[in-house]
Structure 1
Amino acid sequence: MPTGPFLRGRASRRALLALPLGACTPQVIPAGPPQAEPALAEDALTMEDGARLPLRAWLPAAPPRAVLLCLHGFNDSRNFMSEPAAALNAAGLALYAYDQRGFGGAPHRGVWPGADTLAADAATAARLLKARHPGVPLILLGESMGGAVLLLAATRPNPPPAAGYVLLAPAVWGRATMPGIITGLLDVLTHLVPRVAVASGVPGIVPTDNMTALRRMARDPLTIRETRVDTTSGLIDLMDDALAAAPRLGPAMPPVLLVYGGRDQLVPPVATRALLDRIPAEAPARVAYYAAIHHMPLRDLGAGAVIGDILAWIDNPAVPLPSGADRTGLAWRTAPLPAW
């Protein structure tokens, strides 16, 4: 399961302390020097440095009214949109999802590519898709780690050509809100045993209540089941960077819809609140809060309400969401934080 880096309390300490010792250097494999123009094929994106990122598309029967470029979460893959694809296609949306570097079938599986490389890849992918579908609104959707990548991409000097951003439980649980015992142990282990990998799943922690989706992910050979220490450290660096990028979401930004669930066991409420507190009041950002939704909103058994809200928001970001989750979100932003 793609849950490895988000370990809570005693589970995190047990997992980190159980690692064997042995010293080596943390590894990051970013994009290489440019070799050619990026390209979009039916089954892959080719980046400027020649890296081939496998691509999956779900297309509606008629020409699409909007295009979704979808970025998966940590240890997940391009298959993460398998569950909601039919409903989104039926509504006239074309979906594209690619394996980000270090994940799925992309190069250097299991090795961290660096936050800048992930953000640059997302912007390149968006430009390629915009060229394939000229005149059609392009919405960028990111789940968990993918949401953090989009926060960076959206706030860079040359952002993607997006008509809007959908951030599903964005991974922003960085050092600002993470317990010091976890970050301290991880920093030590990153320098002692950076390439040691541990099982990604944690008993009792579930990213969705959809058991069929969980079984599909468990059987999928693209799902990473063991996570290296230095890769986890890279993810935390990305989450730090994503949180720091939030103040740069200004009024000229495309609209942003942030989706968060009350049953999220992987990104705590304090982290999401910290993100919302950093987004400027004048930014065109809206939070949709669902009390019964888990970390993977589009795979939950209650995903229909989230999908309906996303579709309505794409049609008109200014109108209230059908489910009322935006009204709930306003109340949640100032309510006492629940225990986690």
Structure 2
Amino acid sequence: MPKIYPPGEKSQAAHISDGIFVAEDGANLPLRHWLPEDEPKAVLIALHGFNDYSHFFDGPGRYFSSQGIACFAYDQRGFGAAPRRGLWAGEAAYTSDLKILASLLKQRYPNRPIYLLGESMGGAVIITAMSKTKMPKIDGIILSAPALWARSTMPWYQTSLLWTLAHSMPWLTLTGRGVRITPSDNIEMLRALGKDPWIIKKTRVDAIHGLTDLMDTAYSSATSLQGNTLLLYGEKDEIIPKKPTYKFLQKFMETNAADKTVAFYPKGYHMLLRDLQASTAWKDIAAWIYSTTQKLPSGADNRAQHVLAQLTSPTSKQ
């Protein structure tokens, strides 16, 4: 049977100490920060994607801190240098950790708006937390290529194979070798990730099964996700397909569309925040944080409106 490896018993009050987010069960989750020189105007918590870790936010974090935004990113359980590396902690663990850290930073910065940013799996964690958990007051969420490839949008043979492997050899590890996909056009960055010892390169089947469960939950939360939201998607994304993303967005925009901004980047890949044109997305995010009602500088929101309008057109063949 596929297993999850949840947190231990609560043994202490969660706190932040010397680059560590100490959870209630005593788990030490490495915490990075990028702080502006002066008092921050806003606070942003960033969550990394599957098999990644908090270092993913180094470039964006340095940029946002220069714009007066205090940034924090931590290694989620099972990833990077966090405990139980390679093991899936479960949806409840990931959303609970986010909730607790948001509460701690809200105490540290009581008069500053709090934003959440999630890339890929991190985006799915944020969607789930905001839809299913009683979170502290969050002023806005940013979802960069959120992991929304739910089972209902996968071919039957893919879901069948995952179920079979997860229930027969959950310990089996997969490397992805031979799979020809391009996660980013930033080749130098990809080569660095290949040499980074903290990037997980052999993935357990039960972790993939857990990620898919999380994507199922996030995908089904399209109509229950409330509040100011900015969703960014690269049209060259080869990791999270267009079909589930577009279906999610069509439902997502049905409720409170005025609070939601969608941005499509024609030259963007899955790693939008680390692509060669990453600064374009960074500038859009900063502009959105400081004025959620204005148009994005890049015009990526206009592009998204055009694409989504075509999807709902009676003459559309998509």
Quickly say closer, same or farther: Cα 1:339–1:185, change in 2 above 3 A.
farther
Contact kept in structure 1, 2:2 and 2:209, CA below 8 Å: no
CA–CA distance in 1 between the matches of 2:121 and 2:47?
A: 8
One of 229, 240, 256 as aligned partner of 1:267: 240
* 3-state secondary structure, aligned to 1:94: strand
RMSD of Structure 2 on Structure 1 (CA): 1.9
Higher relative contact order (CA 8 A, sep 6+): 1
CA–CA distance in 2 between the matches of 1:197 and 1:233?
A: 12
One of 25, 28, 31 as aligned partner of 1:55: 31
CA–CA distance in 1 between the matches of 2:123 and 2:86?
A: 19
Contact kept in structure 1, 2:263 and 2:300, CA below 8 Å: yes
Contact kept in structure 2, 1:154 and 1:160, CA below 8 Å: no
Aligned residue runs from structure 1 range 18-29, under 5 A: 25-29=1-5
Quickly say closer, same or farther: Cα 1:69–1:201, change in 2 above 3 A.
farther
CA–CA distance in 1 between the matches of 2:142 and 2:284?
A: 11
CA–CA distance in 2 between the matches of 1:147 and 1:201?
A: 25
* 3-state secondary structure, aligned to 2:245: helix
| 1:331 paired to 2:306 | yes
Contact kept in structure 1, 2:237 and 2:270, CA below 8 Å: yes
One of 251, 259, 281 as aligned partner of 2:255: 281
CA–CA distance in 2 between the matches of 1:28 and 1:339?
A: 41
Q: Partner of 1:153 in structure 2?
A: 129
Q: Partner of 1:183 in structure 2?
A: 159
* 3-state secondary structure, aligned to 1:301: coil
Amino acid at match of 1:245: S
Q: Partner of 2:65 in structure 1?
A: 89
| 1:138 paired to 2:114 | yes
- 1:334 deviates by 3.2
CA–CA distance in 1 between the matches of 2:246 and 2:17?
A: 39
Q: Partner of 1:7 in structure 2?
A: none
One of 272, 291, 303 as aligned partner of 2:278: 303
Deviations 1:94-145 (A, max 9, x none): 2111000111111111111111111111111111111122211111000000
- 1:339 deviates by 12
One of 74, 77, 80 as aligned partner of 1:98: 74
User: Aligned pairs, how many?
Assistant: 313
- 1:91 deviates by 1.2
Moved more, 187-196 or 281-290: 281-290
- 1:206 deviates by 2.0
* 3-state secondary structure, aligned to 2:236: coil
* 3-state secondary structure, aligned to 1:298: coil
Q: Partner of 2:266 in structure 1?
A: 291
Q: 5+ unaligned residues in a row in structure 2: which ranges?
A: none
One of 141, 144, 166 as aligned partner of 1:165: 141
Deviations 1:29-73 (A, max 9, x none): 112222111111131111112111111111222222111100000
| 1:258 paired to 2:234 | no
Q: Which runs of 4+ in 1 moved over 6 A?
A: 337-340
- 1:214 deviates by 1.2
* 3-state secondary structure, aligned to 2:160: helix
CA–CA distance in 2 between the matches of 1:85 and 1:165?
A: 16
Q: Partner of 1:226 in structure 2?
A: 202
Q: Partner of 2:294 in structure 1?
A: 319
CA–CA distance in 1 between the matches of 2:44 and 2:133?
A: 22
- 1:82 deviates by 1.7
- 1:216 deviates by 2.3
Contact kept in structure 1, 2:16 and 2:22, CA below 8 Å: yes
Give the percent of matched residue pairs that are identical in Structure 1 and Structure 2. Answer: 42
Amino acid at match of 2:278: A
- 1:277 deviates by 2.2
* 3-state secondary structure, aligned to 1:82: helix
- 1:327 deviates by 1.1
Contact kept in structure 1, 2:118 and 2:143, CA below 8 Å: yes
Contact kept in structure 1, 2:95 and 2:133, CA below 8 Å: no
Aligned residue runs from structure 1 range 118-129, under 5 A: 118-129=94-105
CA–CA distance in 1 between the matches of 2:191 and 2:57?
A: 15
Amino acid at match of 1:281: T
Contact kept in structure 1, 2:50 and 2:120, CA below 8 Å: yes
